[in-house]
Structure 1
Amino acid sequence: MGTDPLTVDWTEAQVAVMHRLRDWAVGFTELNQHLSTWMRLPTSDANALGNIIWADEAGTPLSPAELSRQIGMTSGATTVLLNRLEAAGHIVRSREGSDRRRVTLRPVREAREQARAFLAFAGAEIAASLGDTPDPELTTVIAFLERMTAAARQANTRLARGERGDQKTV
């Protein structure tokens, strides 16, 4: 596969970057837990709803299969979770576009408004930090994160195919 991350002589800056990325992931996970409390949902449901809202806001609504992959649940467990979110009035499943077989997940207006209220309250520090960051620095960070995301996507694709390298399955 190329570089063995366990044997590379990483620079201090590279190690620091990996620690900061982990710190962000931990902080983001904790924010999602607060979102679940805010919306009175189980953490898994709030996480799924957040992904559904985020994708819809970006103009790329999710299918149940895409959501399953993002949240790391089986299709059956995701169906149960989506049934709960739909019964609670947080999402709707629809068949849009030319392929009427494809189910699209959409948040309802009230769920979107609750999530926006949470972000307005909980995201104040993050918004201030982004606002204080000069555009050239943001451009550098965007390019770096795009490379890291592409690398993670490649690894996830390889792992999803069942590749295990030299490791034996136990």
Structure 2
Amino acid sequence: MSSWLDLPTTDANALGQVLWADSSGDPLSPARLGQRIGMTSGSVTVLVDRLEAAGLLARSREHSDRRRVTLRPTPAARERARAFLAESSAEIAAALQGASTAELATSTAFVRTMAAAASDATTRLRAGRS
């Protein structure tokens, strides 16, 4: 998506987070965006400024506390993301249709194993064990 939008990977990731949150009805503040992508508030401000200047993101004040800022994707960002997903989804679907049952079973087993390993590591690390 970053190549499609001609954005640095970090900017595309942030925009994707804003798009996803907005579409799920739970828009992000700059602070929540920073938590999701692992950036400081100062870095998020610079990133949001870039996306706003590119016409992909808008800041709004939608709460009774006018100090709270909500990040919303612009219509242009929504359309570009929709076009990317439509194009990439068609190619992914074609690749899946061309895969054999054995290839899909092997791939599924591998992804499940990797997801379980990541989940186990996260649980262990959260518990403070090495």
Fold match by TM threshold 0.5 = yes
- Cα distance in 1 for partners of 2:38, 2:89 equals 25
2:58 matched to 1:86? no
**CA RMSD of the aligned region, Å?**
2.7
In structure 2, what residue type is equivalent to 1:51? Answer: Q
2:107 matched to 1:113? no
- Cα distance in 2 for partners of 1:59, 1:107 equals 12
- Cα distance in 2 for partners of 1:51, 1:166 equals 30
1:46: Cα distance to partner?
0.5
* SS in structure 2 of the partner of residue 123 of structure 1: helix
* Runs of 5+ consecutive residues of structure 1 not aligned to the other structure: 1-34, 130-147
* SS in structure 2 of the partner of residue 96 of structure 1: coil
- Which structure has more relative contact order (CA 8 Å, sep 6+)? It is 2
In structure 2, what residue type is equivalent to 1:62? Answer: L
Question: What is the total number of aligned residue pairs between the two structures?
Answer: 105
- Per the alignment, residue 96 of structure 1 pairs with 62
In structure 2, relative to structure 1, the CA distance for the partners of 1:94 and 1:165 (3 Å cut) is same
2:3 matched to 1:52? no
Q: TM-score, normalised by structure 2?
A: 0.70
- Per the alignment, residue 110 of structure 2 pairs with none
Deviation track 1:2-26 (CA, whole Å, cap 9, x = no partner) reads xxxxxxxxxxxxxxxxxxxxxxxxx
1:166: Cα distance to partner?
7.0
* SS in structure 1 of the partner of residue 14 of structure 2: helix
Which runs of at least 4 in structure 1 moved beyond 6 Å after TM superposition? none
Deviation track 1:45-87 (CA, whole Å, cap 9, x = no partner) reads 0000011011111111000000001011111111110010011
* SS in structure 2 of the partner of residue 122 of structure 1: helix
Deviation track 1:100-131 (CA, whole Å, cap 9, x = no partner) reads 221000010011100000001112336x97xx
Work out the percentage of aligned pairs sharing the same amino acid: 59
